[in-house]
C-alpha cells in the first residue's frame, strides 16, 4: 500500500492501515460455547500486567482485514451462531441469517482427520509449488449451497520475492484468493481481479476485502458480494489524489469472476479540518433486524458506520454515525454474541518489520451503532480512548498480530484468523522495509461475556489442535486462562515514595536537567516535560532518571499524571512514564501519551543500530489513560531472552494486560522515569516501585 503522509504518524513510525474481513452466513443456530478468558483481555487482580501501544507512521503495504458476524445485503438479520455438527459453519453473521451448508466442490486440499493438528503460519500453496509469503488483512468464509470448501481472501500484495517486474519491483496480486477444506492448508484459486476497476485506477490499491453471501429467493441463485477499500482514487490532476473509498463487486461464485459496481459505495470525503481526505479503509458489512450497515475508517477520520441500500451497492451519507475516535483504530470487525455486538479494531502500525506492534482490541454494545465500551466501561469514542486488548504479541516470534476475522467451526468453536509478522524474518528477501504478513489462526473462547485468544496466551507458535472444519471433525478443547506475572515482594532499596525533598541516592541523572525543572515534595516527584526525546542520532537527547535494574525477574511500576489537557489537539507526544534501557538507543518505555486529540498509553521499543531501510522504533498501546495512570512493566527471561510485558490501570488495582517486547538491553540495564516529548507541561510521579516477580494462574495452553 502507498505510504501515508500524515505527520502525526511519522513521529512514531511507519504505519500500514488494514481492512476488515469477510463473513459467511450460518446454516443453523446453536449455543455459543463458553470459554476461558484471555489474559490479554484484562486481569482483575492487582498482579495482572498489560502492555500499551499507540498509532504510528505511514503504511508500507496493505493491511489485514477483519471479518465479523456479518450478513449480506437484503438478508434477514443474522447473529453469530454455533452451527450444529451437520450445519455449515458461521464466519460472521447476525441473527437469523440464511443457511448455507458444506458442499461438493472439488478441492485438492487435505481434509484433516480426528485429532489433526496445525502450526502457524498457515500454508498457502501457489500454482508453482511455492508458499505465499503474505496474506494481509485476511477474511474467510464458508461456501454456500452445498459447497463444502472454505475461502480465504487477502489484501492486494506481493506473494513471493522471486516474482518480479522488469524494474525489479515485486509483482502485486489483486486480492489473492485461496480454498481449503480444513481451514489450515490452503490452495490458490487465483486473484479476484485481473484488472482494477476503472474508477479506482491502476495506480491505487485494492485492500482488505470483506466477502458476504446473499441467498437467492424463489429458486434463484444467490450472489456473493466483495466489499473492498480503494487506497486512493484518481483526481482532476492525475491518477491519484482523489481520496480513498469503499467499493463492491459481485459474483455468482466465491472464486469469481467478479463484476465491479462501477463506483464507490462510500465516496471519498474531505477531512473535517480540510486537510486532505479521510482514510475510508476496511469495510465491514453486517445486517441487524433487517437493516444492513457498512463500517469503514481508520486513524485519519476515525471509524464510522452508514446504512446500505437494499441492493448493497450504495450507502446513505446522512445516516453516518461515529463508532471510534480517530487516531486509534482501523480494521473494524463486528460480531454478535449472546445479545451483544462486539467491535474489534486494530491499533498502531501494521507493517513495521520486527518492531511491528499492531494488536486487536475489543469493546461491546447492545446496538450495532454503539456506543461501544470496553471491559472497564470506557468508550472507544472517548479522548482517553477505551478498548480491551484481545490479541497481542506474547514474546514468541509473532509480532504485529492484528486485522482479524472470526469463523465458527462445525463443533461450534470460534477461531480468530489474523495476520502477523515473524520478527526473525520480517521482510521479503532483498526488500528491507517491505514487511511480510503471513496468516495465522488460533482458538477464540468466551468468558464472562468477553472473548479471549487461547485463554489470553495470544498467538501460537507450536502445534495446536485443528478446527472442526467439516462435519464430524473433533472439537478443540477449551483453553484455560494463561498465567500472568505480578508483583511479589517489594525491593525496598530500589523503590521510593518520594518522601522528603530530595531524590533517593539510588537514582541518578543521565544529562541532568536544570534544577528548576523538577522538585520532590508532598510525596510526589514533579518533572517538567522536555522538548527532547530519545531517538539517536536525533538531538537533543532527553534527560533520564534511573537506577540499576535488579538481577533476575522483576516488576517495575509507577503512578503518573501528565497535565496535558484531557481533550484537544496540539500537544502531540508529550509523555511521562517508565523506561528500561541499555543505552539511549536501546530501550523499552511505557508512558501516558498525548496523540493528537487522544490520550493513550504507549509501550515502545527502540533498537539501534538497524540495517538500512529498517525502522528503529516500534510501539503498541495498552489500556486507557486516567486522571492518574498506573504503569507496570514485568520483566522475565524466556528461552534465554529478556521479555518485557506492559500493563496499565486507572485505579491501581485492576490492571489491563497488553503486549510483550523481547529486547536485548545488555548486561547492565537501567530502570527509571522519563518526562519528554514537548515543553510546557509536568509529569507528576507518586512512586517508583520495584518488586520481585511471581506468576499466578495458568492452565493448559
Q: How far apart are the first and last CA of the chain?
A: 36
Architecture (CATH level 2) of domain 192-347+358-388: 5 Propeller (2.115)
Residue 222 has pLDDT above 90, yes or no: yes
| Average pLDDT score over residue span 54-78 | 34
Residue 140 makes CB contacts below 8 A (sequence gap 6+) with: 21, 22, 24, 67, 91, 150, 151, 152, 153, 183, 405, 407, 417
What is the rounded CA–CA span in Å between residue 273 and residue 267?
18
- Residue range 415-439, pLDDT digits in tens: 999 999 999 999 999 999 999 999 9
> What integer pLDDT is reported at residue 67 of this predicted model?
34
Q: Tens digit of pLDDT for each residue in 24-36? A: 322 222 222 222 2
Q: Cα 34 to the chain's mean position, in Å?
A: 24
C-beta separation of 626 from 603 below 8 A: no
Model confidence at 23, in pLDDT bands (50, 70, 90)?
very low
Q: pTM for this structure?
A: 0.86
Summarize pLDDT for 507-558 with one digit per residue, the tens.
999 999 999 999 999 999 999 999 999 999 999 999 999 999 999 999 999 9
pLDDT in tens, 98-142: 222 222 223 333 344 457 999 999 999 999 999 999 999 999 999
Cell 464458508 found at = 142
Identify the sign of the CA torsion 469, 470, 473, 477.
positive
Whether residue 38 is predicted with pLDDT greater than 80 in this model: the reply is no
DSSP-assigned states of every residue in 411-462: TS-EEEEEEEEETTS-B-TT-TT-B---EEEEEEEEETTEEEEGGGT-S--S
pLDDT band at 477 (very low <50, low <70, confident <90, very high): confident
The Cα–Cα gap between 593 and 581 comes to 19
Going from the C-alpha of 59 to that of each of 116, 212, 349, 607, the distances in angstroms are: 37, 27, 8, 20
Q: 325 and 383 in contact (C-beta within 8 Å)? A: yes
- How far apart, in whole angstroms, are the C-alpha atoms of residue 638 and residue 660? 12
pLDDT of residue 272: 82
Lowest-pLDDT choice from 254-263, 340-349, 477-486: 477-486
Q: How confident is residue 284, by pLDDT bands cut at 50, 70 and 90?
A: very high
The band of 476, judged by pLDDT with boundaries at 50, 70 and 90, is: confident
Cell (9 digits) for 315? 450507502
Q: Give me the chain's average pLDDT, please.
A: 86
**Domain boundaries in the chain?**
192-347+358-388, 486-696
- Measure Cα distances from 199 to 156, 172, 571 in Å: 17, 19, 39
Q: Is the CATH code 2.60.120.200 the one for domain 486-696?
A: yes
Residue 380 in this model has a pLDDT that exceeds 70: yes
- The dihedral region occupied by 499, where left means phi > 0, alpha psi between -120 and 50, and beta the remainder, is beta
Q: What are the pLDDT digits (tens) for 382-407? A: 999 999 999 999 999 999 999 999 99
Contact between residue 23 and residue 93 where contact means Cβ atoms under 8 Å apart: yes
What is the reported pLDDT for 28?
A: 28
Model confidence at 698, in pLDDT bands (50, 70, 90)?
A: low
Residue 635 above 50 pLDDT? yes
Which of 391, 493, 490, 483 is CA-nearest to residue 442? Answer: 391
Q: Residues 595, 599, 603, 605: what is their CA dihedral angle, to the nearest 10 degrees?
A: 20
What is the Cα–Cα distance from 319 to 305, expressed in whole angstroms? 8
303 pLDDT above the threshold of 70:
yes
Per-residue pLDDT at 695 exceeds 60:
yes
Q: Higher-confidence residue: 367 or 50?
A: 367
pLDDT at 480: 86
Looking at residues 495-499, what average pLDDT do you find? 97
Per-residue pLDDT at 349 exceeds 90: yes
**Is the bond leading into 540 cis (omega within 30 degrees of zero)?**
yes
Confidence of residue 72 (pLDDT cuts 50, 70, 90): very low
Q: For residue 86, is pLDDT > 50?
A: no
**What pLDDT, on a 0 to 100 scale, did the predictor assign at position 570?**
80
Residue 273: predicted pLDDT: 78
- Range of weakest confidence among 71-80, 330-339, 533-542, 680-689: 71-80
Mean pLDDT (whole number) for 656-685: 98
pLDDT at 114: 52
486-696 has the same fold as 192-347+358-388: no
More confident residue, 375 or 4: 375
Percent of all residues in the chain with a pLDDT value above 90, rounded to a whole number:
79
Q: How far, in Å, are 2, 48, 496 from residue 448 at the CA level?
A: 41, 17, 38
Q: Are 348 and 619 in contact (CB under 8 A)?
A: yes
C-alpha cell, 69: 458476524
Q: Which residues pair with 306 in a beta bridge?
A: 294
What angle is formed at CA 132 by the lines to CA 131 and CA 138, rounded to 5 degrees?
A: 130
pLDDT value of position 338: 97
In the chain, pLDDT over 70 holds for what percent of residues?
A: 83
Strand partners, 588: 580, 605
Q: Which string of DSSP letters, residue by residue, matches 81-115? A: ----TTSPP-SS--TTPPP---B-----S--PPTT
Mean pLDDT confidence for 577-597: 98
Q: Is the pLDDT score of 692 beyond 90?
A: yes
Mean pLDDT of 316-322: 98
Sheet holding 617-624, edge to edge: 508-510, 544-548, 670-676, 575-583, 586-595, 598-606, 617-624
Amino acid at each position: 500500500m502507498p505510504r501515508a503522509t500524515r505527520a502525526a504518524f511519522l513521529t512514531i513510525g511507519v504505519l500500514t492501515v488494514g481492512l476488515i474481513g469477510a463473513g459467511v452466513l450460518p446454516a443453523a443456530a446453536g449455543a455459543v460455547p463458553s470459554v476461558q478468558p484471555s489474559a490479554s483481555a484484562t486481569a482483575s487482580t492487582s498482579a495482572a500486567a498489560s502492555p500499551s501501544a499507540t498509532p504510528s507512521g505511514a503504511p508500507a503495504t496493505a493491511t489485514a482485514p477483519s471479518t465479523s458476524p456479518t450478513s449480506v445485503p437484503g438478508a434477514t438479520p443474522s447473529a453469530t451462531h454455533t452451527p450444529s455438527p451437520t450445519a455449515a459453519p458461521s464466519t460472521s453473521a447476525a441473527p437469523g441469517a440464511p443457511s448455507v451448508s458444506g458442499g461438493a466442490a472439488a478441492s485438492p486440499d487435505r481434509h484433516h482427520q480426528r485429532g489433526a493438528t496445525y502450526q502457524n503460519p498457515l500454508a498457502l500453496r501457489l500454482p508453482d509449488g511455492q508458499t505465499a509469503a503474505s496474506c494481509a488483512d485476511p477474511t474467510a468464509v464458508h461456501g454456500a449451497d452445498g459447497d463444502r470448501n472454505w475461502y480465504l481472501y487477502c489484501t492486494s500484495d506481493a506473494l513471493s520475492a522471486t516474482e518480479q517486474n522488469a524494474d525489479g519491483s515485486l509483482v502485486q496480486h489483486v486480492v489473492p484468493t485461496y480454498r481449503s477444506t480444513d481451514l489450515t492448508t490452503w490452495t490458490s484459486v487465483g486473484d479476484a481481479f485481473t484488472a482494477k476497476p476503472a474508477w479506482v485506477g491502476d495506480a491505487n490499491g485494492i485492500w482488505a476485502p470483506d466477502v458476504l453471501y446473499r441467498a437467492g429467493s424463489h429458486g434463484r441463485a444467490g450472489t456473493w458480494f466483495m466489499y473492498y477499500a480503494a487506497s486512493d482514487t484518481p483526481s482532476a490532476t492525475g491518477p491519484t489524489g482523489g481520496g480513498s473509498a469503499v467499493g463492491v463487486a459481485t459474483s455468482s461464485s466465491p472464486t469469481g469472476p467478479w463484476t465491479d459496481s462501477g463506483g464507490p459505495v462510500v465516496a471519498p470525503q474531505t477531512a473535517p479540518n480540510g486537510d486532505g481526505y479521510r482514510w475510508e479503509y476496511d469495510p465491514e458489512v453486517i445486517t441487524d433486524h433487517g437493516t444492513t450497515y457498512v463500517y469503514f475508517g481508520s486513524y485519519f477520520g476515525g471509524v464510522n458506520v452508514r446504512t446500505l441500500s437494499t441492493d448493497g451497492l450504495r450507502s446513505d451519507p446522512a445516516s453516518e454515525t461515529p463508532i471510534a475516535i480517530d487516531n486509534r483504530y482501523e480494521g473494524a470487525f463486528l460480531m454478535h454474541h449472546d445479545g451483544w455486538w462486539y467491535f474489534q479494531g486494530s491499533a498502531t502500525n501494521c507493517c513495521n518489520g520486527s518492531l511491528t506492534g499492531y494488536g486487536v482490541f475489543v469493546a461491546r454494545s447492545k446496538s450495532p451503532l454503539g456506543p461501544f465500551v470496553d471491559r472497564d466501561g470506557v468508550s472507544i469514542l472517548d479522548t482517553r480512548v477505551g478498548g480491551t486488548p484481545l490479541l497481542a504479541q506474547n514474546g514468541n516470534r509473532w509480532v504485529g498480530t492484528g486485522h482479524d476475522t472470526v469463523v465458527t467451526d462445525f463443533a461450534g468453536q470460534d477461531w480468530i484468523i489474523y495476520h502477523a509478522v515473524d520478527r526473525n524474518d520480517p521482510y521479503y528477501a532483498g526488500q528491507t522495509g517491505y514487511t511480510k504478513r503471513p496468516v495465522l489462526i488460533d482458538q477464540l473462547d468466551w468468558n464472562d461475556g468477553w472473548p479471549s485468544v487461547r485463554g489470553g496466551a495470544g498467538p501460537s507458535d507450536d502445534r495446536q489442535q485443528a478446527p472442526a472444519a467439516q462435519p464430524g471433525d473433533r472439537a478443540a478443547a477449551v483453553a484455560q486462562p494463561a498465567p500472568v506475572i505480578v508483583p511479589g515482594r517489594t525491593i525496598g532499596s530500589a523503590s521510593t515514595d518520594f518522601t522528603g525533598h530530595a531524590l533517593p541516592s539510588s537514582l541518578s541523572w543521565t544529562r541532568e536537567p536544570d534544577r528548576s525543572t523538577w522538585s520532590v515534595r508532598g510525596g510526589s516527584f514533579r518533572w517538567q516535560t522536555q522538548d527532547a526525546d530519545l531517538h539517536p542520532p536525533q538531538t537533543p537527547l532527553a534527560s533520564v532518571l534511573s537506577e540499576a535494574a535488579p538481577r533476575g525477574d522483576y516488576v517495575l511500576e509507577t503512578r503518573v499524571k501528565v497535565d496535558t489537557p484531557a481533550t484537544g489537539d496540539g500537544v502531540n507526544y508529550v509523555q511521562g512514564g517508565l523506561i528500561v534501557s541499555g543505552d539511549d538507543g536501546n530501550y523499552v518505555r511505557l508512558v501516558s501519551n498525548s496523540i493528537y486529540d487522544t490520550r493513550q498509553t504507549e509501550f515502545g521499543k527502540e533498537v539501534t543500530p538497524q540495517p538500512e531501510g529498517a525502522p528503529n522504533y516500534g510501539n503498541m498501546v495498552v489500556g486507557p489513560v486516567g486522571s492518574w495512570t498506573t504503569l507496570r512493566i514485568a520483566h522475565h527471561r524466556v528461552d534465554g531472552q529478556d521479555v518485557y510485558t506492559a500493563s496499565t490501570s486507572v485505579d491501581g488495582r485492576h490492571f489491563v494486560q497488553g503486549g510483550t517486547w523481547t529486547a536485548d538491553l545488555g548486561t547492565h540495564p537501567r530502570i527509571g522515569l522519563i518526562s519528554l516529548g514537548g515543553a510546557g507541561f509536568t509529569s507528576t510521579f507518586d512512586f517508583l516501585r520495584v518488586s520481585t516477580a511471581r506468576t499466578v494462574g495458568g492452565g493448559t495452553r
